[in-house]
Amino acid sequence: MATFRGDPALSRSLGGFVRDSRPEFGKILRILVEIPSVSMDPERGDDVRRCAEVAADLLRGIGARASVVRTRGNPVVQGMLRHGRNDPTVLLYNHLDVQPADPAEWRRDPFTLHRTPRGWSGRGTSDDKGPLVTALLAARYAAEHGLPLNIGFLWEMEEEMGSPSIEGFLQRRAGSLQTDSVLVSDTTWISREHPTVVYGLRGLLGMHLSLQTHERDLHSGTTGGVARNPLSELGRVLARCQDPRSGRVTIPGFADGVEPLTGAEMEGFLRSGITVEGFRKGHGITRIRPSIRRREDLIRALMAEPTFEVHGFSGGYPGPGIKTIIPHRAEALISMRLVPRQDPGAVAQRVREFMMQENPDLEVGVESILEPFLGEFSGPYADAARDAMRFGFRREPVFWRAGGSIGAVTTLRRHLRVPVSLLGLSLPSDRAHGVNEHFEWRQAAGGIRMLVRYLDAISMIPKKP
């Protein structure tokens, strides 16, 4: 069968398809965004399950077989647009779950889709429901035009929790998931001007710390000076783990095995034109660490160095006014981003030991572990990615290591043993995970073009025997 590459008429038809599909894109995105599929909120379980059913119906609507597969946690939506037994197969990975969103902080309700001048706003529009709808429409176009490729779908619903159930799912369903490659669309460009192919990801080690020193709050007048204070003690443990001004982690052995970037990698990254000030503005960062002075500092801090981040700290009386208690309990949620060659299990052990040595009464729980990922940046899939990005967005893409973590990526590669490519569509200004998250039609339109071209190209890569 013919592929697009040799057929100018089909290429013109793609342009028309993309232009015409904006209303439908918005319609499907509305259906998904208006189901608050917040995976980490136990009270949203019904919404998560409803979202899975609705998404499976969307797959059926484009002619795919689809099912909602139970796991130990949230379900996985699995689908297949089959072309022919002898054709190669690709598996498109996206996720349907979203971060929490506090309506009080948002300009408009996070779980109602709103039109914006450039596209749409709402929780999940950029991460990852918008890219998911983009992949859905591109796959439909490819199938309708007879592309000789089997297109599988794997839509996860626990990505924002660190994908705890995907491992078990893959163990059980590996047979039904045989594929020649995986395409993940859940990454962010380094800037609006640079279409970005990600070939590296940081891992994540999430921990929950708590310290209880008493059964109940005490009076700081009658017992102050004598009774232990869990807020002070937990704060001190955290202060011993890291110098917050430089970001340097001070836990001995924490960065064992970390390799510096090669000169070639650094050169490639510098050619992207990244600047400290541009990065700062692009990500809406008011204050960058004073240790980040040159472009090289920025690149190293984002790609080659682990982090130690306190996401939440709570305990005692929050106000108004001052309640002069000695609180009985303090809690902190932290995570460390890990870089290639760090072993998350060994790091978890080291961090726990260090903390327990600092304060033996601490309770340290590991919440999530994601391995770091380092993919290929040459070969036929990398070439197809480079060409498709150029075609979709009419700019030269950059190959990049991203600072974030996608747990499913390393798990998919380990179980399916095929190349995993990451072609994302989100922009740094989209505010993924933040308030007023949004997604631009420009990214969806270029994304459909890019994905059709990519599917076209990999349909010509021979199946592995």
Binders of a copy of itself among residues 281 to 320 (CB under 8 A) are 283-289, 292, 298, 301-302, 305, 307-320
Closest distance of CB 312 from a copy of itself, Å: 4
**40 is an interface residue for a copy of itself by CB under 8 A:** yes
- Interaction between residue 337 and a copy of itself (CB under 8 A): yes
136 vs 207, beta carbon nearer a copy of itself: 207
Question: How wide is the angle at C-alpha 423 spanned by C-alphas 185 and 24, nearest 5°?
Answer: 55
How far is it, in rounded angstroms, from Cα 382 to Cα 351?
Answer: 36
Q: How many whole angstroms separate alpha carbon 366 and alpha carbon 369?
A: 8
Residues in the chain: 465
Binding a copy of itself (rule: CB under 8 A), the pick from 166, 209, 326, 362 is 326
Supply 308's token pair.
Answer: 């130690």
Consecutive H or E run containing 231: helix 230-241
Q: Is 327 in the site for a copy of itself (CB under 8 A)?
A: yes
Query: Based on the number of CB atoms within 10 Å of its own CB, is 81 exposed (0-12), middle (13-18) or buried (19 or more)?
Result: buried
- Of 198-206, 251-259, 373-381, 384-392, which segment contacts a copy of itself by CB under 8 A? 198-206
Question: Is 107 a binder of a copy of itself (CB under 8 A)?
Answer: no
Q: Which stretch binds a copy of itself (CB under 8 A): 60-68, 171-179, 328-336, 346-354?
A: 328-336
Q: Which residues of 419-435 are buried (b: 16+ CB within 10 A; e: fewer)?
A: bbbbbbbbbbbbbbebe
Piece of the chain touching a copy of itself by CB under 8 A; list 173-181, 214-222, 415-423, 450-458: 214-222
Least distance in angstroms from the C-beta of 237 to a copy of itself: 9
Asked if 19 interacts with a copy of itself (CB under 8 A), we say no
> Given the structure tokens 């020193």, which residue do they identify?
213
Determine if 261 is a binding residue for a copy of itself (CB under 8 A). no
Taking the C-alpha atoms of residue 85 and residue 204, their distance in angstroms, rounded to an integer, is 38
Structure tokens at 7: 């057929």
CA-CA distance, 288 to 371, in Å (whole number)? Answer: 27
- Identify which of residues 315 and 344 has a Cβ nearer to a copy of itself in the complex: 315
Q: Which is nearer to a copy of itself, 167 or 367 (by Cβ)?
A: 367
Q: Quote the CA–CA distance of 428 and 404 in Å, as a whole number.
A: 12
Residue 440: Cβ-neighbour burial (10 angstroms; 0-12, 13-18, 19+):
buried
Structure tokens at 42: 């136990």
The one among 49, 82, 173, 214 contacting a copy of itself by CB under 8 A: 214
Choosing from 37, 94, 99, 163, the residue that interacts with a copy of itself (CB under 8 A) is 99
**H or E segment and range at residue 228:** none
Please tell me whether residue 224 binds a copy of itself under the rule CB under 8 A: yes
Determine, following the binding rule CB under 8 A, whether residue 109 of this chain makes contact with a copy of itself: no
Enter the tokens of residue 376: 């290929």
Of residues 415-444, which lie at the interface with a copy of itself (CB under 8 A)? Answer: 428, 431-435
User: Is position 117 an interface residue for a copy of itself (rule: CB under 8 A)?
Assistant: no
- Closer CB to a copy of itself, residue 148 or residue 278? 278
